[in-house]
Amino acid sequence: MAMVIVDGVEIAFEEAGPAAPAGTVVLLHAAVADQRMWDHQFLALSERYRVIRYDRRGAGRSGDAEGEVCHHEDLLAVMDALEVERAVLAGSSMGGAYAVEAALAAPSRVAGLVLIGSGLGGHPWPADMLEQARERVHSSVPADRLARYRAGAAEPVNPADVRAMAEAHTLWQVAGPDRGRDALSGEVWEAAVEMCRLVFERSWTGPRSSERHLDPPAAGRLHEVAAPTLVINGLADVRGIQEVSGLLAAGIPAARRVDLPETGHLPPLERPVEVTAALVAFLADVFHPARTDA
């Protein structure tokens, strides 16, 4: 795995593609995962396109997030380091939020957006969603220990607590609040839990950081997004996240929406064939638009 340096921090990335690619695609992972969630899409799309995936700062094999972090600025810096002038950005969960911010901050750099179970900068999560997370996820670890973990004040962190939190989060969000563990194949379940486990382990043991979003926030500026946009929504995902998919599809001019039945928060992992097919069709429209002249 290769590295680029962004503000002194190593960012781990992979890229693949033919000698003469039809375009460039950058894959942005979810907050509960890392770049491995894109295995299927990375391989399939690289037959025709230059495809880049990376672990954002503080995730996967990249360096730690410490102090103030701005992920959409990191995204543009990674593109600069890899000499990517313009690309389609495909983002899952908070990766989608950062893709939208990049499209607003640097519209000439973004050829298109694919937003999958996306977050949205400046949009507050509804109270009932936060309460559901407390009941179903945070309760998996005793409250006193969880508070110490979040403050970075527990030494050492109990691996059983990390695993319990990861499994509870995967069940609630990746499977979906109205589905059980058996809704996911064993392979998908283990991959999702392992990535999520590493997220919590690093969050609880690494340096403290804070996140800076685009200002003014993206939530009030969707009408400014000029890039062609595809919104992919899992119909078994958490309701508050599905509501964001609705906001994106309605607020971004001419955005297209695809709803995937019986699909939770990580469609690229759970429904790889369907997601890849949707990406292939979208990329063809972006990079090879049909001629309308006679």
Per-residue pLDDT of the chain (294 residues; tens, 9 = 90+): 799 999 999 999 999 999 999 999 999 999 999 999 999 999 999 999 999 999 999 999 999 999 999 999 999 999 999 999 999 999 999 999 999 999 999 999 999 999 999 999 999 999 999 999 999 999 999 999 999 999 988 779 999 999 999 999 999 999 999 999 999 999 999 999 999 999 999 999 999 999 999 999 999 999 999 999 999 999 999 999 999 999 999 999 989 999 999 999 999 999 999 999 999 999 999 998 865 554
Identify each DSSP E strand in the chain by its residue range: 2-6, 9-16, 24-28, 50-54, 67-69, 87-92, 110-116, 209-211, 229-234, 256-260
- On whether the CB atoms of residues 257 and 114 are closer than 8 A, the answer is no
Instruction: Give, in order, the Cα–Cα distances in Å from 256 to each of 6, 80, 148, 217.
Output: 33, 29, 43, 22
Neighbouring-strand partners of residue 110:
87
Distance CA 159, CA 49 (A): 40
Task: Please state which architecture CATH assigns to domain 2-124+211-287.
Answer: 3-Layer(aba) Sandwich (3.40)
Domain boundaries defined on the chain:
2-124+211-287, 127-207
